[in-house]
Structure 1
Amino acid sequence: MPEPPHNWPKNIHYTTTCSFHSSVPQSIRQKITEGSAAKTATINPPNGPSPADKSVVAIRRISESTHPACGQLGLFAARKIKEKTVIVDYIGEIHCDERPESDYDLSLFRSSDLSVGIDANKQGNEGRFVNDYRGIPGQEKPNAVFVDERLASGELRMRIVSSRIITKGEEILVSYGKAWWQARTTSTSN
């Protein structure tokens, strides 16, 4: 079992590989684990850090009172990260059921009538701490993006990739997307 990084919450299972919920049909499992790398690979940064390289990122408590996630944890660059570098994979439980209560659920893909997601609410890796850039003073846009990519093995992964140079100590920020914010607004107003 891999050792969790510094500041990892005790109530969250740390893992470096995704697991499958029982809601995922065998055909979807195969599509995720055995797909063709040549058909969908989108980014293969030479000399980029390994997604499991803990020296690239650090988990820190956010103390700035103007930050929307003040008091919570965030993901920060532990060293300078070049543009278009894979920072870390988003790891969690792959599922096909609805999870409106989770703030850590990310869409992996849609297949016919199924939505396939990765939920890092109860298990995951450092990627679960990446915050949205909205509402953070001085942040007009994200410095990283979510990219789905097939590894050389054929396995489909959701990766967090830098969209510009990120300096050491800078918070790694993405866009959760309008749909995520609309769903959150809808669920909190009910």
Structure 2
Amino acid sequence: MSHSRVSNWPSNLQYSTRPLYHASVSKEVKQFLQSSPSGTRSADNAPCRVVIRKITENTHPAHGQCGLFAGKKIPPNALILDYIGEIHCDDRPESDYDLSLHRFPDGTSVGVDASRFGNEARFTNDYRGVQSKPNAVFTDYRTNTGELRMCIRSRQEIKKGEEILVSYGKSWWSNRTDEEEK
């Protein structure tokens, strides 16, 4: 899908509905990520309609930036959409859009980085300073073809027009605080 079909998509970012695998992902890791181990379950519903919108409320921590909003009512525990980006096994401490997808017992970490490549999910903001708790959560699952993906799922009903908010986690915020103190 072209970014020109997605309202408010930044022209400097590549849009995609499929992940891109970085050269740091070994053949063995890629095989694990793309094939379903026995006993896993796939997503049971289609992605929900979402809208990217500029945050205009002065009190919002992301004022002037974009957020992700429900394009229609989203029921509880619904797959909102996959978090699409570059799948990698290298460190990316400079990225604010990098999520952990999987950690192997040997310490190999797999991440999904949507800093330069991705979909609407990259505009999901943290709930802190906006509401008392997140209305959505990051979770992993296997697609019908067996590929391991990170997605955003609703925790409760989200009304049309309501911002979709997750928790970035304490480590994300502590890393930002540490950097600011340097």
- TM-score after normalising by structure 1: 0.90
8 Å CA contact 1:100–1:187 kept in 2: the answer is no
- 1:12 maps to a residue whose letter is L
How does 1:2-151 map onto structure 2 within 5 Å? 2-4=1-3, 5-36=6-37, 38-41=38-41, 44-45=43-44, 48=45, 50-51=46-47, 56-111=49-104, 112-136=106-130, 139-151=131-143
The size of the alignment, in residue pairs, is 179
Aligned to 1:154: 146
Residue 35 of structure 1: how far off its partner (Å): 2.5
SS in 2 for 1:74: strand
Residue 134 of structure 1: how far off its partner (Å): 0.6
8 Å CA contact 2:43–2:142 kept in 1: the answer is no
Distance 1:129 1:104 in 2: 9
SS in 1 for 2:93: coil
Residue 186 of structure 1: how far off its partner (Å): 1.9
Distance 2:178 2:83 in 1: 25
Q: Deviations over 1:103-134 (max 9, x none)?
A: 10000011122111000000000100000001
The reply on whether 1:170 has 2:171 as its aligned counterpart is no
Residue 135 of structure 1: how far off its partner (Å): 1.2
Return closer, same or farther for 1:44/1:16 CA change in 2, 3 Å cut-off. closer
Distance 1:115 1:163 in 2: 26
Percent identity of equivalent pairs: 54
Structure 1 unaligned runs (5+)? none
SS in 1 for 2:39: helix
Q: C-alpha root-mean-square deviation of aligned residues, in Å?
A: 1.3
Residue 44 of structure 1: how far off its partner (Å): 3.7
8 Å CA contact 2:43–2:144 kept in 1: the answer is no
Residue 39 of structure 1: how far off its partner (Å): 2.1
Instruction: Extract structure 1 runs of 4+ deviating beyond 6 A.
Output: none
Residue 40 of structure 1: how far off its partner (Å): 2.8
8 Å CA contact 1:151–1:157 kept in 2: the answer is yes
Structure 2 unaligned runs (5+)? none
